[in-house]
Amino acid sequence: MATSNVVKVESLKDNFDDLLTCTICLETFKEPKYLPCLHTFCDACINTYINSTNKEEKPIGFKCPVCRRLVSIVDNAENSETWAKQLPLNHLIMSMIDRKAMKTSEKLCDACSFRNISQNAVSFCTVCEEAYCENKITRNHRIVPIKDINTDNNVLNLFGAITCDEHPDERIKIYCKDHTKPCCTICATVHHRKCTEVVTIDKAVSGVKESTKARDLMNKLKNLNDNSCKIIQNRKQNIATFENEIEAIQKEISNLREMMNRHLDKIEQQFKDEVRNTQKSNILKLNDEITVLSALNSTIDNWKNILRRVYFKDLNCNV
């Protein structure tokens, strides 16, 4: 039973790679931005997509490349080139990418990357939450060798904290249940001081893990996904059935056309035969009349010759 659970966990870890791949460029996310539908894309990819698909004179937004849901833009809507910058950064995906890089020892030194230098990181600072090469290690902070991260999963919990959108230098540490929103301590003091249920992120996470809501939501999503798959399969079968029926109807129409053509050809031939027979009959009749008239003319000519001879003979005798 335990082995089965381990296999499932490893399978889930392998499947996480799909979450880290942009569906536009098919590469690992670079500056991942997410839409209201939670589909995530590289900042450059979604920016190119927006500019290539925006053809309206007064655009109000764009459609998600995956689910086609309309993403409405309020600020600076007339300039689509700024829309991608307005989209929120997906900190979860960035954290997962960093964790994967740590696991595979492919994480680059953050300090060197800032200067456009590619240098593999060897340590992770739990205070700065950045990876460093040998030359950039901060001696006064708690440093964790990346090789230990590859063997100890608990070390992964030391980094990847999400920062506040309003205060980028502050970590998300508070969760307001009244607004169902995570925030930093500054936001909690300024914006949520009158809220009745404000707890730490750790407490909120433990509450979620202990409650059945997450499990119930997962089951609902699974059922929804299963039903959607069934409907999609049903629609595909309907399309196949419809195409087969259309093909059968088209074949029946072709057969009917061939049958009509054969019938018309038969009628045409009958008419031609009747016309030809009528022609022969009339020509034969006319030829018979010509023969009779020709014989009559021959008789008349003979009579004329006889009459001429008799007439001239009598005339000579009288003379």
pLDDT tens for residues 198-231? 998 888 877 776 778 778 888 998 999 999 999 9
Mean pLDDT of 219-247: 94
305 Ramachandran zone, left/alpha/beta (phi>0; psi -120 to 50) = alpha
Measure the CA–CA gap between 18 and 216, rounded to whole angstroms. Answer: 24
Judged by average pLDDT, the poorest of 22-26, 32-36, 101-105 is 101-105
Residues with Cβ < 8 Å from 147, sequence gap 6 or more?
Answer: 105, 122
Task: Find the angle CA(86)-CA(87)-CA(88) to the nearest 5 degrees.
Answer: 115
CB-based contact 87:58 (threshold 8 Å) = no
Q: What average pLDDT is seen over the chain?
A: 81
Of 53 and 9, more confident:
53
Residue 272 pLDDT: 94
181's enclosing H/E stretch is: strand 181-183
CB-based contact 172:162 (threshold 8 Å) = yes
Is 80 exceeded by the pLDDT of residue 264?
A: yes
State whether residue 319 is helix, strand or coil: coil
Phi and psi at residue 33, to the nearest 5°: -120, 140
Residue 75 pLDDT: 67
Percent of the chain clearing pLDDT 90 (strictly above): 35
Measure the CA–CA gap between 223 and 204, rounded to whole angstroms. Answer: 26
pLDDT tens for residues 114-155? 777 777 777 777 666 677 777 656 556 667 776 666 555 555
CB-based contact 192:205 (threshold 8 Å) = no
* pLDDT tier, 84 (very low <50, low <70, confident <90, very high otherwise): confident
Phi and psi at residue 29, to the nearest 5°: -55, 140
CA–CA distances in Å: residue 268 to residues 197, 260, 265, 272: 93, 12, 5, 6
Is 60 exceeded by the pLDDT of residue 63?
A: yes
Residue 165 pLDDT: 74
* Count helices and strands in the chain by DSSP H and E runs: 9, 10
Mean pLDDT of 149-170: 63
Residue 119 DSSP class: -
* pLDDT tier, 10 (very low <50, low <70, confident <90, very high otherwise): very low
Of 304 and 60, more confident:
304
Residue 12 pLDDT: 43
Is 70 exceeded by the pLDDT of residue 59?
A: yes
Percent of the chain clearing pLDDT 70 (strictly above): 78
